[in-house]
């Protein structure tokens, strides 16, 4: 039974306590489950929360030891009811729970924890008790301690409302029959003020062992409309998440228009579609890409091959999550390497990628130089996947040499 004396009491939190919290003396085994997220978007975006029960323990005083198991069970029941299948939580100390929600929105994840904890506070301490500093946004996951920022429940609720409206807008766009209209996505003014246009061409891709065409890849160029020059890899890396999503959607829309115009006389077996890792790392982006893929599948015989770009610096766990989330919507998932000299690709191993792809460098002239570069590249990539796709071969001779060195698929320069 609740303590009657506490039911109507309101506890004010001094401003001095609204500082970063550092949780120590944590269970190293439980904490190890969460250190895999350190440095990943799931932490940076605020989707790992800390629920601290210390104020509840303080209020219960001597009764904490006898009642803490009831508190644990009540909180865990609340979390189990609310969390998705891909989420998980663990108690990492006597009074601290960590909750990871990789696929939720930032504020939606935090609001879920606030509501779950509110149930516990209301049950054990009474509905009038405030819990402003009981839910925290984790900012640093160390091996022995966790640093977190206390959350304002009002700001969390307002943020969740904005997320809900934004997600509804994405869902409305996803259901729009004109989703893949090229003019809808390109050109557009990027977050840095540059007017961006996306162009796209179809490039046939062949399996060298069987000498058969497996389909087309969408080769895109992201252009500055003021100069008609392509944006560099560095410039693309500084675009916002929304910019990258527009570029990905413009690529698919332009590609489908090309497919309808240039390959109308035959059905393509498959279509290799480049998608930014950043797009796949957030729920809104995945929703739109998955919807676009479902429409592309209606126009190809076998399916869509999702080619994840910008992957060289992606941590292993984040790559595993990105592949797993898009895999149900794709025939295969492959990774595209931007650098001409790939090294240290160990984080891409055992992530679910079926192949790695790379563009043939334009500055290689002689066959000996080409073979030397390709042999080094194949050695690096085959430690990750068995299949290696070489794009932009200048002629059939180079394609034959590539096959001898170890390439499994090639495309030719248009």
pLDDT tens digit string along 74-97? 999 999 999 988 788 999 999 999
77, two tokens:
């029941």
Burial class of residue 169 (count of CB atoms within 10 Å of its CB; 0-12, 13-18, 19+): exposed
Q: Which run of H or E residues covers position 217?
A: strand 212-224
pLDDT beyond 70 at 18 = no
Which tens digits make up the pLDDT trace of 312-329? 888 887 888 889 889 999
- Min mean pLDDT across 138-147, 180-189, 345-354 is at 138-147
> Does the domain spanning 182-412 belong to CATH 3.20.20.450?
yes
Q: Reduce the DSSP state of residue 362 to 3 states and report it.
A: coil
Which tens digits make up the pLDDT trace of 199-238? 999 999 999 888 899 999 999 999 999 999 999 888 888 8
pLDDT beyond 60 at 20 = yes
Q: How far from 301 is each of 169, 216, 296, 305, CA to CA, in Å?
A: 31, 12, 10, 12
Query: Residue 13 — very low, low, confident or very high, per pLDDT cuts 50/70/90?
Result: very low
Compute the average pLDDT of residues 394-414: 88
pLDDT beyond 50 at 3 = no
Query: Residue 244 — very low, low, confident or very high, per pLDDT cuts 50/70/90?
Result: very high
pLDDT beyond 90 at 337 = yes
How much of the chain, in percent, has pLDDT values that exceed 90?
Answer: 41
Q: How far from 123 is each of 2, 89, 95, 114, CA to CA, in Å?
A: 7, 21, 17, 14
How many Å apart are CA 207 and CA 168, to the nearest integer?
A: 42
Q: Which run of H or E residues covers position 383?
A: none
Query: Residue 32 — very low, low, confident or very high, per pLDDT cuts 50/70/90?
Result: confident
How many Å apart are CA 57 and CA 45, to the nearest integer?
A: 29
To the nearest whole number, what is the mean pLDDT of the chain?
Answer: 85
Res 9: pLDDT? 27
Res 103: pLDDT? 79
> Domain extents for the chain?
4-171, 182-412
Res 14: pLDDT? 34
pTM score above 0.85: no
pLDDT beyond 70 at 15 = no
Query: Residue 340 — very low, low, confident or very high, per pLDDT cuts 50/70/90?
Result: confident
């Amino acid at each position: 039974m609740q303590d009657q004396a506490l039911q109507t009491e309101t506890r004010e939190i001094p401003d001095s306590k609204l500082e970063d919290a550092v949780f120590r003396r944590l269970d190293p085994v439980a904490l190890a489950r969460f250190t895999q997220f350190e440095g990943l978007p799931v932490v940076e975006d605020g989707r790992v929360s800390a629920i601290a029960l210390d104020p509840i323990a303080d209020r219960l005083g001597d009764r904490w030891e006898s009642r803490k198991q009831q508190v644990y069970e009540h909180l865990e029941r609340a979390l189990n009811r609310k969390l998705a299948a891909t989420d998980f939580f663990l108690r990492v100390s006597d009074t601290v729970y960590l909750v990871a929600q990789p696929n939720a929105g930032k504020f939606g994840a935090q609001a879920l924890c606030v509501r779950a904890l509110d149930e516990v506070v209301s049950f054990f301490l009474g509905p009038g008790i405030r819990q402003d500093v009981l839910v925290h946004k984790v900012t640093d996951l160390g091996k022995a301690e966790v640093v977190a920022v206390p959350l304002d429940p009002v700001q969390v609720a307002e943020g969740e409302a904005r997320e809900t409206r934004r997600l509804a807008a994405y869902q409305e766009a996803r259901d729009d029959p004109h989703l893949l209209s090229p003019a809808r996505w390109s050109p557009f003014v990027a977050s840095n003020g540059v007017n961006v246009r996306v162009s796209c061409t179809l490039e046939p891709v062949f399996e060298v062992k069987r000498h058969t065409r497996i389909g087309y890849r969408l080769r895109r160029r992201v252009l500055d409309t003021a100069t008609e020059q392509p944006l560099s890899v560095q410039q693309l890396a500084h675009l916002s998440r929304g910019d990258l999503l527009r570029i990905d959607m413009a690529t698919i829309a332009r590609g489908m228009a090309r497919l309808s115009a240039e390959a109308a006389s035959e059905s393509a077996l498959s279509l290799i579609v480049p998608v930014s890792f950043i797009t796949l790392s957030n729920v809104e982006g995945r929703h739109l890409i998955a919807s676009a893929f479902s429409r592309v599948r209606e126009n190809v015989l076998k399916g869509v091959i999702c080619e994840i770009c910008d992957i060289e610096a992606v941590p292993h766990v984040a790559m595993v999550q990105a592949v797993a989330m898009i895999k149900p919507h794709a025939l295969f998932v492959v990774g595209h390497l931007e650098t001409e000299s790939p090294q240290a690709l160990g984080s891409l191993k055992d992530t679910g990628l079926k192949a790695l792809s790379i563009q043939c460098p334009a500055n290689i002239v002689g066959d000996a130089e080409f073979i030397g570069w390709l042999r080094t590249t194949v050695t690096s990539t085959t430690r990750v996947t068995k299949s290696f796709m070489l794009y932009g071969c200048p002629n059939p001779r180079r394609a034959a040499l590539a096959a001898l060195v170890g390439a499994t698929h090639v495309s030719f320069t248009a």
